[in-house]
Every structure is written in structure tokens, then in C-alpha cells.
Amino acid sequence: MSIRFFFLCLISLSLVGCVARDGDAGSLTTSQRELVLQVKGALGQLPDEPHKRTRNRELGLLAEVALEADEESLVLEVVEAIDNWRNIQLKAELATTCYNMGREEKARQLVEEVEQTVDTVLGIKSGRIVAAGENKNILEEYDDFRLDRVKVALSKYYFTKGDKESAKKWSEGVLPAEQSEFIKQQAQALAKENYDTSLAVNNILIKGETFEGKKAGIDGLVLLFDLYYGEEGKRNELKALIDEFSISMPVMYRVEWLHGMALSAFGHGDAAVARSLYIESSLLISEGSFKPRLFFPLKAENIITSHKLGFREEASEAADLLYGEYARFEGNIYNIHRADVLCAVGEMFVAIGRMDRAEEVYLNALDQAGVNPNSRPRVEDLNLIACSLIKHDVPLTSGLHEKMDGFVGSLGAPW
């Protein structure tokens, strides 16, 4: 049975009403909004040649942070600076957010704009429309997988709205790799009400033709593990399936799934199983051989999980030791990777409530981002750090503002 068949069945089975929220205000502070705009301006300095794609990608990441915070006007301000396929993909995603917020007319306007662009692209691909004028080179920006991402975003919008026919229409012909995450979301909508169907869909994803599908399917099994933890037979079945299918997957996902199951067990009052799963994840990390760019984020997530499981003193001590390890290995880490590592460490300190230590780490990340003489990697690191600060709600102190201002002021040739 195909993934596509299950996908269409899911749309029919799991359409549910959406509860609108009052108002259209987002959750960012004034200071956070100003930081988004400051970083947008910095990214705008990237020249078209040869960095247009980099600029669009980074602006897309910044827009996603604003989107997660339901900042409609801020998202649009960032998105309008994007001049490739990400522009309309993000507008389609924003339409879903607006619909959920009760801003139905704005959602309709956004979707209309997106659909017009997609129709133009499809028309040119089919020969129905002649590529001319402003659309002369449009196909260069919309190859199949990029167009499919836009279609999936439209399908999500119509699914949220309860329009199953339109959801089906936009899902037709989408590449499996782009479809899998959406299918997972629909399976999740069924998970509480229909264990067998949700399990079957996740198994189809896992045994399908794409890596993305397999990951999405195991994600679904981990969700079911939490929802049905109290039913021993289902819990044991799910644990066995997760063990079987995850063994060939990259270690970062295996650790993530073990953490998820450990926290599920802990939430259901099963401390012994939680500890066992946590130890299993710890062994995966300690027995592996990883480069710093992977080791530090893995270890940081493990420390966060230990804190959530109640091992707070141990987590705090381990966090200090990990940051000490970074200092010891810093010279062996490429300067373009140091901000990645330090953001993971900073997020760890935030998660365990050590905000003063977190600020110290983020300031260090900005210092290390400035080591590279070229501005392109520096502005990429700036975006990474700013997004991390906002997503994890780190207080933007005067020290961080001052460092950010100096960093932005230092950008310029060579790029």
C-alpha cells in the first residue's frame, strides 16, 4: 500500500475543527523584534554575487523564528526581502498561522498570492503560459522539490481549514521526501483516537523509500509510546519497533528518541524505566567517536534531559564540565563551527536555569563568530546566535546588545 494512499485517507479521516485565537499579536518582546530587524539588515548586506542563495536561506531561517512566535507583520517584513521560492513557501505557512489566529481574510489573501505564483510556475512548466517578462527565469527558482515544499505548505493550510478536497489537490504528485513530514502530522492527529491506523501509517512511512519518511515514522512511534504508555502491551510493542527500526539511523536521532521515551516514562511516574532509557542514550554518546560539532550538541541535550528527569545537581555540574571541555578543544574546532557548538552549550545553560552562564556563552559565541576574516560566515553565525537567543527567550542584556551592535558594525568586504 502506497504512502500516497494513506496520505489521502488521513486527510479524510482526521480533518478537525481549528480553534481560533483572539488577536493577531505575537509573543516576541520589543527588544526581540528589534533584534530580528537588525539581523535582517545585516543579512541584506550580503551581495547577490555570489551570496544570493545564502542570503535567502538565512532570511528564511530568521522568518521561521518570527513565524513560530506568531509575529505576522514581522514575518512579512523579513519574507519580502526573500526573492526565491522561500518567499511563497513562508507566506503559505504564515497563512496557516493567520487562520489559527482568527485572521481568516489575511490568510485568504496570502494563499491567493501563493496559488497565483504556483499556477504561473505550473503553467510555464506545461507550456500553457509563456515565460516572459518578470517570469522569464522563474523556473530556475522552482525545480520540483522546491515547488513541492510550497504545495505541501498549501495542503497544510487547507487541512487546517477543513477543506479536504483542496488539501488533496495540493498533495497530488508531491515527492515522497517532501510529503513525509506532513503525513506524520496527520498521523499524529489520529494518534489519540485510532492507535491501529496511526501505527499502520507510521509503519508505511518507516518501510517506504525515503530517509525522511523513516525518520517521520519513528517520530510517530515515539509519540504513540507516550500516548499509550499506560497500556503495557502497546508500550512494549512500540519499544520493540523503535529499537528495531532506529538501529540503522544516525546517532543524533537515536539519542533524541531515547530522550523522548525517557521523558514519557518519567511523566507517567516510571522513574526506573526513565533512568534506564537515559542511561542508554548516555552510552550511545560515551561509546561513540564524534567530532566536536556533533559531540557538544549531543552531550548538551543529554544534560538537559537529565535535568528534566530530576538530576539537577548532576546536570549543573556536568554543564560546567562540558563548557570546560569546549575551552580545552576550542583550538581544534574550525572557527566557522564554534558558534554552532557554543549555541548548543548556551541553550543547555538556559534549559537548566543558569542564565548568567548562558549569557557568558553567547557572548563567547559572538567573539568566536568574529574570528573569521570573511563577513559571509560571520553574518551566518550572527543569524544563528540571534535565532537561538530568541527561540530560547534569553534576556537581551546591555552586554549582548553592545556586542551585537559592534558585530553588525564590523561587517563588510571581504564577503
How far, in Å, CA of 349 to CA of 30, rounded? 24
Cα–Cα distance for residue pair 119/114, rounded to 1 Å: 9
Per-residue pLDDT of the chain (415 residues; tens, 9 = 90+): 455 544 445 545 544 444 444 445 689 999 999 999 999 999 999 999 999 999 999 999 999 999 999 999 999 999 999 999 999 999 999 999 999 999 999 999 999 999 999 999 988 877 788 767 667 677 777 878 899 999 999 999 998 898 989 988 998 888 887 877 677 777 777 788 899 999 998 999 999 889 999 999 999 999 999 999 999 999 999 999 999 999 999 999 999 999 999 999 999 999 999 999 999 999 999 999 999 999 999 999 999 999 999 999 999 999 999 999 999 999 999 999 999 999 999 999 999 999 999 999 999 999 999 999 999 999 999 999 999 999 999 999 999 999 999 999 999 988 8
Cβ(343)–Cβ(391) below 8 Å: no
| Claim: this prediction has a pTM higher than 0.85 | yes
**Cα atoms in the 13 Å half-sphere on the side-chain side of 330:** 15
Length of the chain: 415
Q: Which three cell numbers stand for residue 326?
A: 569546549
Instruction: Compute the half-sphere exposure of residue 381: CA atoms within 13 Å on the CB side of its CA.
Output: 31
Instruction: Please compute, for residue 150, the number of CA atoms within 13 A of its CA located in the half-sphere on the CB side.
Output: 25
Greatest CA separation found in the chain? 66
Vertex 351: Cα angle to 400 and 243 (nearest 5) = 135
Helix (H) or strand (E) holding 215: helix 211-227
Helices (runs of H) and strands (runs of E) counted in the chain: 20, 0
* CB burial string 193-229: b at 16+ within 10 A, e below: eebebbbebbbbbbebebebbbbbbbbbbbbbbbbbb
| CA pair distance 386, 201, nearest whole angstrom | 38
